[in-house]
Every structure is written in C-alpha cells, then in structure tokens.
Structure 1
C-alpha cells in the first residue's frame, strides 16, 4: 500500500512561535492569565496547525479536547486557512462549543435541524470569509442538498476538519451511528494538506484502531501512515465509584428519595427507558425533590431549558436517558444510574458527565433485575438480516423513481428507524443514494458482511458480561473500567467503594419504601389511539389512507413491559417459557383498579365486550374478558377472530404498513355488536396498536358508537 508524502518539516523557530501564539489563544479561551497548554495538548495542536497531519485523540472527559481544536483553528486562520468544520452529534454540544468559541474571539455558527431559516445567511457568511468555525450534525452530511452543494465546497476550502465523539464512526463502538460513516467519504475527498482531528473519550483498542484506519484513507486509495494516535490515561481523579445492590424496585426508588439530596451539587440520574424517566421523576417530585424528566422525546426548546437549569443548579437532578450524554458540559457533583448500561464503555461515557471542574463527584450504580431484558431489546435492533437488505435493494432497483422511506416500509418488513439506519449504511457502502424525494439504487455490487455483523454481536455479548462483572467485582472499580477501555496505565484508584474511599449507605426508610410501593403499584397507562393510516397502503392492495374517522377511543393498559412496578409481573407473565393460564390475582386486581380510575372518563359505560382472539395465550385473554364480564355484568358478544392462522401473530410488526396488512389478512370480526353500543375491546398485550385499531374500525363499521381498548400490557 502506498502512503501520501509527508508534509514539509517546520523549523524550530516556527514551532516555538506557534507554541507562544497557542498559549495566548488558550488564555483567551479559558479567560485565565495563568493558563498553560500541557505537553500532550500541544503535541496534538502542533500535529494539526504546524505539520498539517491527521490525528486521533483519545482522552478522558475534561482533558481539554475542545481547547485543542479551537486553538488550532486560531493558528490556522491566522495563517490564511479556511474555516474549521466540526461534526458534532448533539445540539447541546454545539451550544456549549459556540459559547466557548466566542470567548476566544472565534466566530462560530451551526447548521442543524432547528435553524433552517438561518442556513442561507450562514452559507453567505462562510463564502464571505466571516466564519471561523462551522458546526454541523452528522445527519447533515447525508442531506442531498447539503451533501451535493455545500459539502464539496467545504471539503475544498476548510482549514481543519474535526470529528467529535469519533467512536461513533466504528461499528465496534458502543454508540455506532450510521450517519458518521458518511465521514469516510468526506475524509477521502479532502485535498492534501488539510489537517483532521478526531476526538473521543470512550474508545478501547479495537475502536481506536478502526477509527485510525478510516482516518488515514485518501481519495486515491493511499493510506496516511503519519496519522497521530494519542491515547492518554483515562483515570478521572475526581470520581468516586460505587454500587448499591437493592432487591426490589421499591427499594431502589426509596434509596433515591432518601439519598439524592445528600449528593454533592446537581447531577444526573440515568434510566434505561423513557417510561422510567417519567415514573422516577414523578415519584421524586412528589417527595419534594426538584427534578425533571429528560429524554429523546423531550422537545428541543425544553431540552435546552432543562440543560441550562442543570448547569445553573436550579434543579437537583435531571432524570434522563442516554439522550443527555455526549458533549454535555457542566460541573456536576454526581451521576446515578438506575439500571446498568449494556457495556462498561457506555457506562464510562455516562459517569464522565460528573466531576468536571469539581474536586470530588459521586457515581452510584443501582442495578436492576430487568437490565438484561432491556439490553436484549436494544440488541434486537441491530443490522437487519441479509434477506431484508436484499428485499430493499430489489425494491429500489425495480422502481423507476426514488422511493421514500414510508413507501419502502410497505415492501420491506422493517421499522422506520432500522430501515433508515440500514439505508444510511448502504449509502456509504455505495449501494444506494439519498436523493430529493427518497432513495435510489446505484446498481453497484454489494456484499452482506455476515461474518463482521456476527463478530459485532459477539462483542456486544462480551460487553454485557463485562458489565455484569463490574457489578460483582471486589477489585477497584475505576481500574476495572479503565482496563475495559484498554488503558495501559490502569491502577487502583483508592477512591471507590471497593478501595475504601467511598462508603455508600444502603439504608432506606420505611416511609420511602411504602410511598415507592404505592407509586409502582398504581396501575394504568393511557393507550392513545392511532389517528392516521400509514402512507402508501395502496401498494399493499388496501384502500386506506388519511385520517381514521371512526376508530377507537383512548384506552388503557395496566403497565408497560418496561415499567418498574407492574412491568416486572407482566414481563414474567409474557416470557416465552411461561405457560398459558388465567390472569394472576395481583394483575387481576390491577385491572380492576385501572377500570375504576378510567371509568369517570367514559362518555357511556360499556354495553358489551369483544375479545381479541389469541393463538399463543387463549386462556389468558379469555379469562381476562370473562372476569370483566362477571364484574361489570355485561356480555361477551364475540371476537376479533383468527381467520388465517398461516399469518403469524406478530407478522409485519416491524413497521406500520406491513402490520396493518398482516392484521387485515389474519383476522376478522366475528361478533354480534348491538347498534349504538359502547364496546370494551379486550386484548392481552399491545405492541404496535394496529390490531386494536383495525378491530375498532371494524366494530364501529358494525354499528358501535364507541370502542374502548383495554390490555394487560403495552410494549415499550
């Protein structure tokens, strides 16, 4: 393999002058006259601004990676280079970086999904040379207009390319993102001599090697042997790590209620699911604690306000999913995890939010029995099977026009998110291309790398086992995490609970446990009805489109399968190895409690019951319906019956269009519905909601005035 020519060697005088200028810029950036660059920081800046090399910097959170690229930007701009382009994954990161840049007199702007109206003025500013730094999200890189019109100009004129959170490039990484793969194309298209910096705080040796290899590839196929790879120690001297093992969800919630106020400053309580953030935040607020829920479902403006409230110390904690993660910059006194992430690397990323700018920060992990179930769910969302990929490529190849993702959903049994992610990978691999109006096939050959995908899946399994090992270890916890990230300098920290530097009380008050128990035992989750039919159903021979004019009313389930309270009993009930049988007494009582709480919202009381027939749990769903019939004194008048058993129960569940078609093929209404009746529609569990929706429209068409869906469990 050939290598690119080395850049001209700078003289000692040039390097000394650059070092002096870099120190001035650092002082302006941090606002301190005594600020000095560390030798490792200068080594990275020198590689970029003096030697024009490509560099991968793997350094712990708080090391000062942003100082490296902002100082390098100032040096390069003073030498006449074009603007720096920073690819950042999160808006929170962009806002923090823009604020930091302004302190150093760096003119920084961003192009993202929330400021579309500013894109053209920003482009004009870039062309006029008025911008020093442009921050873009990885998703922008594959927007057709940006990719075809803006990106080539940026590649030709930028002075420095920065890839933040670079572990996302590698599918070996814990947070691989397909949009980041577009960077490989951008890297290859950069003219010779334009420096590149990739940074991350969370990369083990495998990820580091993978990213470095991708970083060195050029358009002509040559490989840059001069890529600087800098790995520093990953110890975080301020962090004190500990694990508290509690037996029940009530005890874990009670521990938070009793001990959250004791934690230093403000911080984050991480949960594994969106539902858990809402449940935990509600309970803690009821206990008088100033907290708020934060997830990927939180509106952008509210996210910004909540982030600022945390930075300012106006809330004790944000109860958050991993959506509050990479690039969030604040001086936090603690991070608590209610449930363990699926790998030590991901856990290290989250705990790294604490202890920046503080001498001490407390990190506590409260593991849950259900963690492994949640890990398994997310693992099921990996790269699709080969036949699904081939179906997608065939659908695009057979079409004479671009196909939208919604249209592809009617032809491939994949959900919207997995389909989009798969298409992005295929785009980078050259098999498809995003254009205005959707996706097209390129006709280029493509091979399914089953061996690699299998190795990635095996690596994920090893990471999960390593996370379980972290919970059990009696050795130093920081050393354990650092060894998982292949830190050669890993040593005992002397600060964690195993080293004796942290003592965490496992006591919980009876009052807190009782209140947590009441909170978790309170059943009832609103089941919002589907309002619109999926698009392009005509492709599947169904004359359904637009608004669902006569469907279901808002319904109820006892709980979500991911919930902390009744979710545990429901997960046990619906395990594949649990035999079919009647509704357990505890859940039967929960159903009655749901009905009692729900009934004031009814326009009219149910007159009859219709049962959704089940092939897998016929006894369970029939017992549920019969019990309701006895208590409410209303008859069961029929079923949404299985008409075609050859259609599997979960057929088409991956996306809405396929699911509607499968439900229509599989079932039909077999019930004597009185005209004008209010119908209670009973099912065992809800996944997509389309079975209840299709059944409700048929019941309404049969003459019912209202349909009230009820199920034991909701997925997700």
Structure 2
C-alpha cells in the first residue's frame, strides 16, 4: 500500500543549484541550458512517479469502496487527478451509476492523507446522505452528516470537526443559511476545507428539474474558498443550458471543449443505460392502471420503486397492492423521517417488493440491484423522468422501466406550475414588509398574501440575491437594490411548457425511447451514433400487454371507489389577524368538528370523476354523487348524529351543492335548512395566505334559517382547499344556535 503521509502534492520533485559563475562563457551557458533541461526532465519524471503512485493508491481505495474486481474508469482518474494533484475545479456530468461518488470519496481520502483539511459535500437528501456515509466507511473515510434528521448530534459533530476527527462532512443545503452554522461553522470549513463537492449540482440551476433556492448559497461558500481549494460539481441530469448555468453559479467554468492546464475540467459522458428496458403502457382509467400494476407487479424482476405524482395517489396505490397480497409500503413527503429510513432499509434488503413513492424518494437512493421502476402518472419533464428511472439497473444486466401515463397528468402538472415564483408586486411586498429588526416567518405571513411554502421559497431566493438576510429571530431587509428578472421567469415558464410537451411526445413516440431521453439531456455522444438502443419496446417491438384482468380490475375498483376521507378541523387562528382588523387569536373553540370529503382531487379512484364534475357547468347532482355521499355518511363514526342539513352557498356551483343537501335531507330524513352564505357584495376569496384568507372571508355569514338550539348540522360544500371557509361558516351556524357542525365536502384538494 502506498503511504501518502503528509507529502505536499504540489511540491517540486527536486531542487537544483543555481549556476552563477560570472566568468561563464558559451560552454557555461550550454552547460546551464543542459542542466535546466535535465532538471525539467527530472521534475517531469518525479511528477509522473507521484501521479502513478497516487493512481495506485486510488485503485486500492476503490477496492475498499466498491469491492474486488472494481477498476477506475479513465475519466474517474482524470477527475481525481485534477482535484488532488492540480487542485482544479471540475464539473462532472455523467449518467447514474457511472461512479461519481467514487471520485469524491477517493479524492477526499487522498487529500486527507496528504494533510489537507476535510472534504465538505453538499448533499440534497437524507437517503443520499445515509448511503454516502456507509460508502465512506468502507473506504476508511470518517464521515459525518449534519441534517434535519440528526439535530441532537450537531454539537458533537461540530466538536469532531474542530478536533480534526472528520474526513468528510455532508451537509444539507438548508444548513448553509442557518445563522449559527453560517456564521460560526461555515467560515472555518471554507478556510480549512481540502475539497468542496456539490452533489446533484443541477439543483443549483432554476433551469434544472429540481431547483432548490438553498443550493444557490453554495456559490458564497465557493467564493470564500482559498485559491488552491478544489471544487467538484456532479450531476447525472443536466442539459446544455443547465450545465452552463451551474458552471456560472459555482464559478467552475462552462467550456466543455479543450481543457488547458489552468482551466476548469468539464467531463460529460454518454447517458445511455444499457441495462434499462424502457416501455410505455397506455391504460385510460386510473383505477385500471392500479389494477394493471397489481396484476403485473409480481412478474417484474427483484424489488423496485413505483412512482406516483401525488401523496394521495401513492397511498392509494400502496393500499391496492397490499390488499392484493403484495409486500409494499408508501413513501411520501408525509412519511416520518425515522420511518423513511426503515422503509429504505426494507427495500435495500428486499423485504418489500416495492416502495410506492413520490419524488421524496429520488436523488441518491442507491440500490445497485434495483430491478424495476414503474411510474403511474408521468413526471412533467423527460429530464426528471430520466433521473428517477436512473435508480434502476445500476448493478444488474437488466431492469424494467414502465410508464403508465394518464390523461389527468397534465392537470397535476398545471397545479404544481401554479405555485411557482410569484409576480414582482408580491415579491416587493415581502421586501417592504421587512425592516432591520428580525421578523419571523409566521409574523410575516400576516403582512403579505403568500402561503407558508411559497413565502419561504421567496425569502430564500431574496436571501441568495442579497435583498434579505436570515438572522436569529427571523428575517431582515438588507437595503440592497433588487431587480425582478422577469425575462428569466418568463423563460422558465416557457421551458416548463416545452418540457411538458416533450414528456407527452415521449409517451407517443414510435422512435427509440432511450435515444429520445438522451436527446433531451443533450447527450454529447448521441450525434456520433446511429440507430436506437435495441432494448426499448419501440426498438424491439415487444410491447407490453395493456389488458387488465377483470377480477383484478374489480378488486382495485372496490378499494379505490370506497368514498370518504377525513377533513381536519382548523384548531388555531393564524398569526396576525388583529393587524388585519379581526380580533381573533389563539385556539379556535367554536369551529366545526372533523369533517369528511367524498374524495381528493388527486385520488386514483374518485379523483378523476370529481375533477370532471367540478370542471363541468353547474348542474344538479348525478345519482352516483348522491350515492357516494350516502356511503360516506354510513361509514362516518360521528359522536352525535346530525339533525339537519344545510348547503354552504357556492359562487360557482350553487345548484350542485344545494341538490346534494336536498338529496341527503330526503334520504336521511333530516331538516333541510336554508343555505348559509357570505354577503353577495363581497369579492371572491382569492388570498393564499391563511391570515389574509380569513380576513377576506370575513365573519358576516348569513344564516337565514336558524338551526334548532342544541342541534347538529351537516354542512355541505363543494370543494375544501384550506378549510377556512368551512370554519367561518360553522362559527356563524354555532352562533345561530347549533351545538355542532359536521362539514361534508364533495372534494378536497389534497
């Protein structure tokens, strides 16, 4: 084994004496020239030997990391050499499974053995961090991670860093702007770091498929580094535009052409995945798609991942598959972090056939023998799709990749697009609401009409742009001029629409599917190739049967057609209502009980019918809708049965809601009360932020027919999005005499 000790990797190989004899003539000059040539040759030889020794040590470390038989690719060594010996900056864009993590772990170990400081890896997901820490240990690399899942360990890890006991520190991008970490830990890391790695670097770019504002703070970290501190950015999913943007953001250069000794190294490889068998199966009905999956899951190789577009769809699919005997579990943004770790372990150990997941299980989950990836519903971008299917077949000769698109996919894409970066006026309102005194995010919510998640996104972007700053206690305005880049945001919107169209084209293409995806990612090797991959359904003609077994279809429909989901009751008034003229604060004691909805708009079963119903012109309720509501009432385990029913007047669907109330009153022999409504002269409710929404809804509800004192009223509404309209109407009814109010919605957003 080659021992690196604490050798300076850039030290000269040998020293040479100066020849300063004043009487030296022509022969002396020739002698000096020859000596210099010999010294140069000796230095070159010594340098070559050092590099060869490093290469040998790198090969040893790879065996520890990846096991017997593993060998470094030429491009892997090129990147390691550039980082460790030349301390350059590098951008590596290579397919999933190429071995990008091997590059930075081996480089980190070599730099540490040479006496350099710890490597800092900015990593986006907890699943990725856990896998990376385990991989680092195999190579003898002492790794630690700071993230939201190990808060109790932070102080101890900070002490280890200060004591030199950490070789690699993995941090989430969100930590980079935590005030304590940013001000007390980050400067030391930037000063002492031996290497900085930005993993999944496409997140830096808002042109990328998974842009995260926190990632853009990395450029501050990079700017504070010493001149000889190498930087490595890696990703598998970046087209030309994203590569150029990432390079600009991180200052790692964008020239992918000839690499000079003093320039940035850019390595872009081909993106073909020889193990993947891509196919598309068209099944029109969402319930039949679930049945198709239940019918075919057992024939897919090994264990894998089934992706769904929404949390509710993932949970529905998991329930259908489990009821039909498959060992599966749902994995979504609602899954507790500790449970996520357990589920990942189950999949790694093949204790489950699949995890039914949203994009929460995406980048970085590393199971080399993952046998399949199935999408029930298409992502909105071919680039995002390539990233997710890249989880499969990293260490196998064959992996199945199946897409089951649905007509509702485009509606879901449009919804997610609707919560993108807001308009200039709204953003400037955020800046104007701040001062040099810290303001918390909840307090800021009462000053600007943005929901919590969008407000946090705006604050992060403004922080990166220098207009605001996060400090202890909240956010402050910096006073720096800020420019709304309307051209960029409009360009982003156009790019998203183009990506959505490209995804639809992928579903329908008769050409090679792998070639299509590679073209979307500007694969540099594609131009020199002809023909298709020879593996996808279009290349082979081996089209999967879309037929659904009727027994499987009935079972899936029975499960998905069970109506009824809970509607959580609002229990706390939003902060800042007194500022908006409403003296409401603290706990809500006079609101509705926990309610029920027929289904979610994102459900696999009821979602399709409800979306269509609410999109149609207003009309009386069809029989299937009344029947579904009756089933919900039958299964509702209320403490007190309702005595009466009333409609909450809908501005857009008054006939629909009133006819449901009438139908349920007749079937259940309940008193039918007059509709409850807001004053007709009030404007429609458009606010997104909770405090603004409550203020806009107001308290002045008309209750034309007072319920009997002490009675319980079933309150029928069409769509519940935030729950505040139902809350305010229920308060009015309770104020008019009702003891309790039970909301019944035809649909809820999520």
TM-score by length of 2: 0.91
Summarize deviations over 1:355-382 as a string: whole Å, max 9, x none. 0111100000000110000000111111
Compute the displacement of 1:74 (Å): 1.0
Indicate if the aligned counterparts of 1:647 and 1:666 stay in contact, CA closer than 8 A.
no
Summarize deviations over 1:562-617 as a string: whole Å, max 9, x none. 11122111111222xx221111222122112212222xx12222112232112221
SS in 2 for 1:199: strand
Q: Distance in 2 between matches of 1:58 and 1:665?
A: 56
Q: Distance in 2 between matches of 1:168 and 1:667?
A: 47
Which residue in the other structure is 2:361 paired with?
324
Instruction: Please tell me whether residue 269 in structure 1 is matched to residue 309 in structure 2.
Output: no
Indicate if the aligned counterparts of 1:494 and 1:501 stay in contact, CA closer than 8 A.
no
Indicate if the aligned counterparts of 2:218 and 2:250 stay in contact, CA closer than 8 A.
no
Indicate if the aligned counterparts of 2:269 and 2:524 stay in contact, CA closer than 8 A.
no
Compute the displacement of 1:225 (Å): 7.4
Q: Distance in 1 between matches of 2:153 and 2:702?
A: 52
Which residue in the other structure is 1:120 paired with?
155
SS in 1 for 2:534: coil
Compute the displacement of 1:75 (Å): 1.0
Q: Which has the larger radius of gyration?
A: 2
Map of 1:461-480 to 2, 5 A cutoff?
Answer: 461-480=497-516
SS in 1 for 2:233: strand
Q: Distance in 1 between matches of 2:481 and 2:262?
A: 29
Q: Distance in 2 between matches of 1:55 and 1:230?
A: 8
Compute the displacement of 1:71 (Å): 0.4
Summarize deviations over 1:370-428 as a string: whole Å, max 9, x none. 0000000111111111110011111114xx62111111111111111111011100001
Which residue in the other structure is 1:69 paired with?
104
Deviates more, 1:99-108 or 1:506-515: 506-515
Indicate if the aligned counterparts of 2:88 and 2:262 stay in contact, CA closer than 8 A.
no
SS in 2 for 1:444: coil
Compute the displacement of 1:701 (Å): 3.0
SS in 2 for 1:639: coil
Deviates more, 1:164-173 or 1:141-150: 141-150
Q: Distance in 2 between matches of 1:246 and 1:76?
A: 54
SS in 2 for 1:642: coil
Map of 1:226-305 to 2, 5 A cutoff?
Answer: 226-305=263-342
Indicate if the aligned counterparts of 2:645 and 2:672 stay in contact, CA closer than 8 A.
yes
Q: Distance in 1 between matches of 2:402 and 2:493?
A: 28
Summarize deviations over 1:312-341 as a string: whole Å, max 9, x none. 000001110010000000020000000000
CA gap of 1:217–1:22, structure 2 versus 1, over 3 A, is closer
Compute the displacement of 1:96 (Å): 0.5
SS in 1 for 2:591: coil
SS in 1 for 2:517: helix
SS in 2 for 1:175: coil
Instruction: Please tell me whether residue 367 in structure 1 is matched to residue 402 in structure 2.
Output: no
CA gap of 1:530–1:140, structure 2 versus 1, over 3 A, is same
SS in 2 for 1:498: helix
Q: Distance in 1 between matches of 2:699 and 2:271?
A: 56
Instruction: Please tell me whether residue 695 in structure 1 is matched to residue 729 in structure 2.
Output: yes
SS in 1 for 2:319: helix
Indicate if the aligned counterparts of 2:252 and 2:264 stay in contact, CA closer than 8 A.
no
Compute the displacement of 1:170 (Å): 0.2
Which residue in the other structure is 2:177 paired with?
142
Indicate if the aligned counterparts of 1:647 and 1:665 stay in contact, CA closer than 8 A.
no
Q: Distance in 1 between matches of 2:211 and 2:178?
A: 19
Which residue in the other structure is 2:695 paired with?
661
Map of 1:237-636 to 2, 5 A cutoff?
Answer: 237-330=274-367, 331-397=369-435, 401-490=437-526, 491=529, 492-500=532-540, 502-575=542-615, 578-598=616-636, 601-636=637-672
TM-score by length of 1: 0.95
Which residue in the other structure is 2:16 paired with?
none
Map of 1:160-175 to 2, 5 A cutoff?
Answer: 160-175=195-210
Q: Distance in 2 between matches of 1:393 and 1:666?
A: 33
Q: Distance in 1 between matches of 2:557 and 2:706?
A: 42
Q: Distance in 1 between matches of 2:225 and 2:622?
A: 64
Summarize deviations over 1:229-268 as a string: whole Å, max 9, x none. 1111111111000000112123211111110000000001
Indicate if the aligned counterparts of 1:495 and 1:502 stay in contact, CA closer than 8 A.
no
Deviates more, 1:116-125 or 1:349-358: 116-125
Deviates more, 1:59-68 or 1:509-518: 509-518
Compute the displacement of 1:503 (Å): 4.2
Compute the displacement of 1:311 (Å): 0.6
Q: Distance in 1 between matches of 2:63 and 2:396?
A: 20
Indicate if the aligned counterparts of 2:678 and 2:700 stay in contact, CA closer than 8 A.
yes
Instruction: Please tell me whether residue 714 in structure 1 is matched to residue 748 in structure 2.
Output: yes
SS in 1 for 2:490: helix
Compute the displacement of 1:501 (Å): 6.9
Which residue in the other structure is 2:36 paired with?
none
Compute the displacement of 1:644 (Å): 5.3
Deviates more, 1:470-479 or 1:486-495: 486-495
SS in 2 for 1:440: strand
Instruction: Please tell me whether residue 673 in structure 1 is matched to residue 710 in structure 2.
Output: no
Compute the displacement of 1:551 (Å): 2.0
SS in 1 for 2:469: strand
Compute the displacement of 1:140 (Å): 0.3
Summarize deviations over 1:290-315 as a string: whole Å, max 9, x none. 11111011001110010110010000
Indicate if the aligned counterparts of 1:109 and 1:135 stay in contact, CA closer than 8 A.
yes
SS in 1 for 2:315: helix
CA gap of 1:248–1:581, structure 2 versus 1, over 3 A, is same
Summarize deviations over 1:165-213 as a string: whole Å, max 9, x none. 0000000001100110111111111111100011111001100111112
Compute the displacement of 1:510 (Å): 1.1
Q: Distance in 2 between matches of 1:394 and 1:217?
A: 35
What is the alpha-carbon root mean square deviation over aligned residues?
Answer: 1.7
Deviates more, 1:519-528 or 1:375-384: 519-528
Q: Distance in 2 between matches of 1:587 and 1:225?
A: 70
Q: Distance in 1 between matches of 2:703 and 2:200?
A: 52
Which residue in the other structure is 2:219 paired with?
184
CA gap of 1:16–1:325, structure 2 versus 1, over 3 A, is same
SS in 2 for 1:100: helix
CA gap of 1:153–1:36, structure 2 versus 1, over 3 A, is same
Deviates more, 1:680-689 or 1:546-555: 546-555
CA gap of 1:163–1:501, structure 2 versus 1, over 3 A, is farther
Which residue in the other structure is 2:28 paired with?
none
Q: Distance in 1 between matches of 2:287 and 2:167?
A: 52
Unaligned runs of 5+ in 2: 1-9, 13-43, 254-260
Q: Distance in 2 between matches of 1:225 and 1:624?
A: 73
Deviates more, 1:490-499 or 1:693-702: 693-702
Instruction: Please tell me whether residue 686 in structure 1 is matched to residue 714 in structure 2.
Output: no
Q: Distance in 2 between matches of 1:35 and 1:611?
A: 69
Indicate if the aligned counterparts of 1:495 and 1:501 stay in contact, CA closer than 8 A.
no
Q: Distance in 2 between matches of 1:55 and 1:672?
A: 72
Compute the displacement of 1:548 (Å): 1.6
Which residue in the other structure is 2:5 paired with?
none
SS in 1 for 2:411: helix
SS in 1 for 2:120: strand
